[in-house]
Each structure stands twice: as structure tokens, then as C-alpha cells.
Structure 1
Amino acid sequence: MRVGLISDTHGLLRPQALDFLRGSDHIIHAGDVTGPEILAPLEAIAPLTVVRGNNDRGPWARAIPETAILRLGAVAIYVIHDLKELPIDPAGEGMRVVVSGHSHKPARQERGGVLYVNPGSAGRRRFTLPISVGELLVEGDRVEVRLVTLEVD
């Protein structure tokens, strides 16, 4: 199963990000969507799990949860925008993966049997950070991560 990862679009859904996400079986948006118009194109590709980021405000954002749990067979994925606000012990709760955003820095790290993944920012460039997305490849209880820097003008 291929799970597309995107975060911190900040109201800008780049065609390069959509191209990368096509073919996903599921998509996770880790917050800072900043506009409801971003969600429909993602939902048109695959089922979508989205969490609210610190910049997601207004009536449209109230229905978006701050955290989410996605279970794909043997793999449990916890989604939160800001990893510093993680309210659980992921390993203790049986999570295999934690997906977050907020920092705009793509990152992958495994600690205590939990894979922490941040796809970075797919929206407006911040400082010199790359424009990036990612994917989880889930097979049984195995998870592989790929982070991709998008070529943008």
C-alpha cells in the first residue's frame, strides 16, 4: 500500500505535489492546509486523512481534528501537525509511525521502534528549505519511507 504524505501547503497545492501523490492508496496531510480548497483535489486522488495545523483557522477548519490515527493492516499511524505537542507515547500506544509537519523540514528517524516522518513543506518556500513530499510503502508490518524534493520554479 502506498500512502502519500504532504504537509504545510499553506494554501498552495502545487501541480508537482499532485503528480507525486497520484497512485496513492491513501493520502495524509499533516496540517497547515490553510484553505478548504486544498482538500478536494487530494480527496479526488485517494481517501484523505488530515489534521489541523496551527495556521488552520476559521469555520472550515473546526471539523478537522488535531490528531488522527490511521490503521493499515498491521501498521498504526499517528498523525499530528507539531511533533512537540505529541500527547501520547507512540510506542506504548502501539503506533508504528508518527507523521507530522510544522517544521517545513523533511525528516525521517526511527526511535524505540517508532518511525517518525515529516514530509516537509509542499507549499510556499520558507527560507532555503526544500519543497517536498513523501510516501510510506506499507507491506504487512513493514514500512519504508521515501522523501522527495520537488522540482519547482
Structure 2
Amino acid sequence: MKIGILSDTHYPDKTSYLPDLIFDVFREEGVELIIHAGDLTSPELFDIFREIAPVVIVRGNLDKPIFPEEKVLEIEGLKVGIIHGHQFLSLDEQSLKYKALEMGVNLLIFGHTHRFFYKSYEYMGKKVHLLNPGSPTVPRMSDPTFLVGKITGEHFKFDIYKPWETQWKYP
């Protein structure tokens, strides 16, 4: 299954620019699900994404309380957890690993830092992946990014898209 993954779009509260590349790539890649890890900040944007594919969104610290605080999905045998990350005083790897274990997920998608991050661990007898897609509109000390992931069974890989550069693949 192909999944569009993004976070921290902050449109239109912090930016008036939303790259068309996001929508073009999601359509061209044929994403079957869009995951937004919070700070969408615009219900209208939610409707635009829903025209492309079903959307799962969690509430960020600047979102209205219409979205859940966290979500767990099972996609083709992979358990995926989604949080924004503002719930933690520090978004350190240790806290995120424990959160993934608490949620019982193999992949934890989070946002809030506006920076891409990916790391995979063998931890307490489980394989845990931590993934932050970054922000396509208001990055912090990084390039703007969003992802297209592919889940096949328990395997997960993704391509990173940078609105002002070409994409690159991550194993």
C-alpha cells in the first residue's frame, strides 16, 4: 500500500504557500492513504487531501480538537502509530521508543519538530521505526520535506520529496 506522509503544514496560519508538488506526487504515485501527523491547521486542506485518498490525521498543538490525539492503524500486517509529539517535554529518541512500545506499534510517525528524522531500532525484543516526515512548508533548520511510503507485509520503505529538489529513496 502506498501512503502519503506529511506533518506541520501550518496552512494558512504560518504560510500562504502550499507546494503543488505535494498534491501532484500523491496523485501520480497513486497513494491509497494520506497520514498527517498534526498541525494541519486548516479543515479546508483536509477536504482537499480527501479528494486524493482517505486521510488519517492526529491533532497537533495548533489544531482544533476535532482530530484524535493519537491513532493506531494496522496496514498490511504493520502496526503504525501516529502522534504529533507536542505531548512530550522533549522529543528525544528514548521517549519516542517507549511511546512506540506503549502503543504496540512497529512504526511511529510523529511531527512537531518540522525536521525529517528516521531511525530504526531493535529494542526490547521488537523492531521499532521512528519517522518524522518534516514539514513541506515551514521547516526548522532543514529542507522542506514530505514522504511517500510503501508498506508490504511488515516491510516499510519510503521516498523523500523536497519541494525544491528531486526526490531521493530511503532503503
TM category, shorter: 0.7 to 0.9
Q: What displacement does 1:125 show?
A: 4.5
- In structure 1, the residue corresponding to 2:21 is in which secondary structure? helix
Change (3 A) 1:2 1:76: same
What is the CA distance between 1:87 and its match in structure 2? 10
- Residue-pair matches, total: 147
Residue 4 of structure 1 aligns to which amino acid in structure 2? Answer: G
Which residue of structure 2 lines up, in the alignment, with residue 26 of structure 1? 33
Query: 1:78 — aligned with what?
Result: 81
Give the TM-score of the pair, scaled to structure 1.
Answer: 0.86
Amino acid at match of 1:36: P
- CA drift at 1:84: 6.1
Work out the CA distance in 1 between the residues paired with 2:86 and 2:132. Answer: 9
Q: In the TM superposition, what whole-angstrom CA distance separates every residue of 1:11-63 from its partner, at most 9, and x where no partner exists?
A: 1532111112221011100011111111011111111100111111xxxx222
1:94 deviation in Å? 3.1
Distance 1:36 1:135 in 2: 22
Q: Distance in 1 between matches of 2:103 and 2:155?
A: 18
Q: Take 2:101 and 2:158, find their aligned partners in 1: how far apart are those partners?
A: 18
Q: Cα gap change, 1:49/1:132 in structure 2, threshold over 3 Å: closer, same or farther?
A: same
Q: How does 1:3-152 map to 2 (within 5 A)?
A: 3-12=3-12, 13-22=18-27, 23-56=30-63, 61-82=64-85, 85=88, 89-91=99-101, 93-111=103-121, 112=123, 113-126=127-140, 128-151=141-164
CA root-mean-square deviation: 2.1
SS of match in other structure, 1:70:
strand
Identity %: 30
List per-residue Cα deviations over 1:96-122 (Å, max 9, x = no partner). 110011111111111221111111001
- Structure 1 residues 9 and 93 mapped into 2: Cα distance closer, same or farther (>3 Å)? closer
TM superposition shift of 1:135? 2.2
Q: CA deviation at 1:88?
A: 5.8
Q: 1:87 to 1:97 in 2, by over 3 A?
A: closer
